[in-house]
């Protein structure tokens, strides 16, 4: 006795009924039924074998089931239909006048729900005819306009073919003499092996894969056994459909690698019915029946699992094309590539790299250097070292100066100038406190302790090209991938996501309110989920600059300033700005925008215009927290834009270097390197000329000369209270 019982509750759902009755013309003709969800029961001798599967696209499921039965009636040896989410597949194999049913779900963990059910073929066709006819009548009773829909016409034609009852006997599979097969996967000179035993019946199924095009799963539901062998311990064996086991094992191995990368201390993994308990800090595993924990690194298990899956897929594909086997091989190769990247990238799980939390730098608010007006800063050059090719200097608060060239990064002691460490690196390093992130000239990304030069981890991103722009986050670092998109690597070296984005690498990224606001190279603005890189929203906006203002994001395009909610991408307020908008800065409850030869300021609350300054020479804006807002231009020209006392400095030459503003001191390069009191615009110190300069938190000044780097330390200061 068999019954096919589609759920009836969809007919009473007012949302479904309203949508169906609203369909007219071309929309009605193109109706596919994919949005109609309900359960589909398959009762065999009073037992619903599909109970618990979940809601299916019930109209499409019955349609596919009818098509499968028609194909078997036309002489096909097997067919299958998707009858539930996951997907859940019903495989039908002809056995004379009967049908052998196997119900399989591919949702993780993939498993056989029911198998070995032999039912009468004629009764199965009658039950499906009854279900299809009932669904069609219900559909037309709700909306007669759907009588011309392709789905309705197809269901009607299938009902007519099933009602005729005439069918040819199924074409038997050609007999194939198959010998049992053993597949063995292992890593060279390592004690672990994964052995797969395929009996003759299963091998015969695999070899007939080309003869059953309408039932790809039928070739893979044959039983076999998989055994994990390890010298010094009894083997662990699982029996069942080998394909489903390998599919699950690849997913579990990927989860194991992810836990190992992320610094998890332990993980439990099921090997069939056996529980494997991993100590990821020692790379040891325990299992019931083993006398002691055995050494088995997660990468090694993943490699033998991927190797076994690839062997099985290759054995299947030798006898014909098969989408499932090809997908299994692709997953296996991706896992092998990932393992190779981790090994060659030297991702290490040392206590310093993973177990200890990343250092949290104190974000104390640095006060102004003096309580009164600064009148003089006295500097002393304490050392000068050769530095041919240096392009940038980055002072680190804990006593280091990092000097960047086109080929290397080097750290010098701030007091003595002694070189502490040197590493090969591409330009563009970023720091987060004492942690330094940089890209090598290949495809590796590195986290390094700037104080001692210890490499925390080195992570390969296969295929990543230069230039590698980086953005440090509180729990990792973002790397731009030219021609692809963006990758986020966590503090432990684990790859959090690698996302393809329209236009490739983004122009800019702003983390705000738990969202990554991204200015895409394609001319759009998007919000990404930092957990997986998924695009949450996208809107047309060619942003040149992104700024954070509390829980909102400010985006500046060539003619528009927009305040955006980062969670939804909706605009809070928007204002027009002159063409060719350039730099922008947030200061004292307002945003200043440099555009059209002028600096305009707007309130952060509602976007009301506050002021406008005509400054055709300005190129950059500098702002100091609770300090000054200053526009700078070529030749060291500068002007303060806020406060009651506004001052200006004329340019001297055409040097294009931007100034530096820190703790109430403004550094400008005007031939010699000059330092000014940002409050009054008074010259307080003059240092030698340099190609580039940097100010430390203690106002020490690093100067890059043609072939040397020098450090000038603040000895004392004079001020008027």
Q: Kindly tell me if the per-residue pLDDT of 68 is higher than 80.
A: yes
List, for residues 21-32, the tens digit of each pLDDT value: 999 999 999 999
pLDDT of amino acid 71: 93
CA R_g for the chain: 34
How far, in Å, CA of 666 to CA of 624, rounded? 10
pLDDT of amino acid 353: 40
Q: What is the DSSP secondary structure assignment for residue 10, as one 8-state letter?
A: G
pLDDT of amino acid 719: 64
176 versus 56: which is more confidently predicted?
56
Residues in the chain: 721
Q: Kindly tell me if the per-residue pLDDT of 6 is higher than 90.
A: yes
Q: Kindly tell me if the per-residue pLDDT of 86 is higher than 80.
A: yes
Q: Kindly tell me if the per-residue pLDDT of 469 is higher than 70.
A: yes
343 versus 490: which is more confidently predicted?
490
pLDDT of amino acid 720: 56
Q: Kindly tell me if the per-residue pLDDT of 721 is higher than 60.
A: no
Q: Does residue 482 have a cis peptide bond before it, meaning omega lies within 30 degrees of 0?
A: no
How far, in Å, CA of 358 to CA of 369, rounded? 30
pLDDT tier, 41 (very low <50, low <70, confident <90, very high otherwise): very high
Mean pLDDT for the chain? 89
pLDDT of amino acid 166: 60
Which residue, 51, 54, 59, 81, is CA-closest to 10?
A: 59
Q: Kindly tell me if the per-residue pLDDT of 93 is higher than 90.
A: yes
Provide CB contacts within 8 A for 261, sequence distance 6+: 342, 347, 492, 493, 494, 495
How far, in Å, CA of 98 to CA of 120, rounded? 5
Tell me the β-bridge partners of 438. 446
How far, in Å, CA of 617 to CA of 609, rounded? 22
Determine the average pLDDT of the residues in 168-189. Answer: 75
pLDDT of amino acid 369: 59
pLDDT of amino acid 190: 86
pLDDT of amino acid 84: 93
Sign of the CA dihedral running 231, 233, 236, 237: positive
Q: What is the DSSP secondary structure assignment for residue 698, as one 8-state letter?
A: T
pLDDT tier, 352 (very low <50, low <70, confident <90, very high otherwise): very low
396 versus 721: which is more confidently predicted?
396
List, for residues 385-436, the tens digit of each pLDDT value: 999 889 999 998 788 999 999 999 999 999 999 999 999 999 999 999 889 9
Using alpha carbons, list the distances in angstroms from residue 646 to 370, 649, 650, 680. 20, 11, 14, 8
How far, in Å, CA of 198 to CA of 168, rounded? 33
Q: Kindly tell me if the per-residue pLDDT of 470 is higher than 90.
A: yes
Using alpha carbons, list the distances in angstroms from residue 185 to 304, 319, 327, 429. 5, 21, 19, 42
List, for residues 605-645, the tens digit of each pLDDT value: 889 999 888 988 898 999 987 788 999 998 889 999 987 78
List, for residues 278-323, the tens digit of each pLDDT value: 998 888 999 998 989 999 999 999 999 999 999 999 999 998 999 9
Q: Does residue 713 have a cis peptide bond before it, meaning omega lies within 30 degrees of 0?
A: no
Burial class (CB in 10 A: 0-12, 13-18, 19+), 188: exposed
List, for residues 662-710, the tens digit of each pLDDT value: 888 999 988 899 999 988 889 999 999 998 999 998 899 999 999 999 9
656 versus 192: which is more confidently predicted?
192
Helix 58-73 to helix 121-142 angle, to the nearest 10 degrees? Answer: 140
Tokens of 706: 């043609």
Determine the average pLDDT of the residues in 259-270. Answer: 85
How far, in Å, CA of 35 to CA of 56, rounded? 10
Q: Kindly tell me if the per-residue pLDDT of 348 is higher than 60.
A: no
pLDDT of amino acid 170: 59
Is the full-model pTM beyond 0.75? no
pLDDT of amino acid 463: 82
How far, in Å, CA of 114 to CA of 2, rounded? 14
């Amino acid at each position: 006795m068999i019954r096919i019982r589609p759920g009836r509750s969809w007919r009473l759902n007012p949302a479904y009924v309203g949508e169906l009755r609203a369909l007219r013309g071309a929309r009605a003709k193109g109706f596919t039924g994919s949005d109609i969800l309900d359960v589909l029961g398959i009762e065999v001798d009073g037992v619903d074998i599909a109970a618990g599967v979940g809601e299916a696209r019930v109209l499409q499921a019955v349609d596919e089931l009818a098509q499968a039965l028609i194909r078997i009636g036309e002489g096909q040896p097997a067919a299958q239909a998707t009858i539930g989410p996951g997907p859940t597949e019903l495989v039908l194999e002809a056995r004379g006048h009967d049908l052998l049913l196997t119900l399989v779900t591919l949702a993780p963990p993939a498993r056989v729900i029911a198998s070995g059910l032999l039912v009468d073929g004629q009764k199965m066709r009658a039950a499906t005819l009854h279900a299809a006819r009932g669904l069609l009548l219900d559909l037309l009773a709700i909306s007669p306009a759907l009588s011309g829909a392709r789905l309705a016409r197809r269901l009607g034609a299938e009902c007519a073919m099933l009602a005729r009852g005439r069918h040819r006997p199924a074409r038997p599979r050609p007999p194939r003499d198959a010998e049992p097969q053993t597949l063995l996967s292992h890593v060279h000179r390592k004690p672990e092996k994964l052995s797969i035993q395929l009996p003759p019946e299963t091998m015969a199924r695999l070899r007939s894969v080309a003869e059953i095009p309408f039932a790809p799963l039928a070739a893979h539901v044959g039983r076999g056994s998989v055994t994990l062998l390890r010298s010094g311990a009894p083997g662990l064996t699982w029996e069942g459909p080998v394909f489903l086991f390998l599919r699950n094992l690849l997913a579990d191995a990927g989860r194991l690698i992810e836990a190992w990368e992320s610094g998890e201390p332990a993980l439990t993994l099921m090997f069939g019915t056996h529980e494997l308990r991993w100590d990821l800090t020692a790379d040891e595993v325990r299992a019931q029946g083993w006398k002691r924990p055995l050494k088995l690194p997660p990468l090694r298990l993943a490699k033998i699992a991927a190797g076994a899956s690839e062997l099985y897929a290759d054995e299947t594909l030798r006898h014909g094309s098969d989408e499932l086997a090809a997908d299994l091989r692709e997953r296996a190769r991706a896992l092998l590539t990932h393992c190779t990247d981790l090994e060659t990238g030297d991702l290490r799980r040392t206590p310093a790299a993973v177990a200890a939390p990343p250092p949290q730098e104190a974000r104390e608010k640095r006060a102004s250097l003096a309580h009164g007006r600064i009148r003089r800063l006295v500097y002393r050059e304490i050392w000068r070292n050769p530095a041919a090719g240096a392009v940038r200097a980055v002072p680190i608060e804990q006593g280091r100066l990092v000097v960047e060239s086109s080929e290397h990064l080097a750290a010098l002691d701030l007091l003595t100038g002694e070189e502490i460490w040197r590493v090969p690196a591409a330009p563009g390093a970023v720091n987060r406190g004492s942690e330094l992130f940089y890209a090598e000239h290949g495809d590796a990304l590195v986290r390094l302790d700037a104080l001692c030069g210890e490499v925390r981890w080195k992570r390969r991103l296969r295929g990543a090209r230069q230039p590698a722009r980086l953005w440090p986050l509180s729990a990792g670092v973002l790397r731009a991938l030219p021609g692809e998109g963006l990758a986020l690597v966590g503090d432990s070296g684990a790859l959090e996501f690698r996302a393809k984005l329209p236009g490739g690498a983004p122009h800019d990224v702003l983390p705000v309110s738990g969202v990554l606001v991204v200015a895409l190279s394609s001319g759009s603005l998007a919000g990404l989920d930092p957990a997986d890189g998924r695009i949450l929203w996208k809107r047309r906006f060619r942003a040149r600059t992104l700024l954070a203002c509390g829980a909102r994001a400010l985006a500046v395009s060539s003619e528009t300033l927009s305040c955006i909610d980062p969670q939804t991408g909706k605009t809070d307020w928007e204002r027009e700005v002159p063409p060719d908008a350039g730099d922008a800065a947030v200061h004292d409850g307002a945003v200043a925008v440099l555009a059209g030869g002028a600096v305009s300021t707007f309130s952060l609350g509602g976007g009301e215009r506050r002021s406008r300054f005509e400054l055709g020479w300005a190129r950059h804006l500098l702002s100091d927290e609770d300090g000054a807002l200053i526009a700078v231009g070529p030749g060291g020209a500068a002007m303060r834009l806020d406060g009651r006392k506004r001052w200006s400095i004329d340019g001297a030459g055409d040097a294009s270097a931007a100034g530096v503003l820190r703790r109430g001191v403004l550094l400008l390069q005007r031939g010699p390197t000059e330092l000014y009191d940002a409050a009054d615009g008074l010259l307080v110190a003059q240092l030698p000329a340099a190609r580039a300069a940097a100010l430390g938190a203690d106002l020490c000044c690093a100067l890059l000369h043609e072939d040397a780097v020098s450090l000038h330390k603040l000895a004392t200061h004079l001020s008027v209270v």
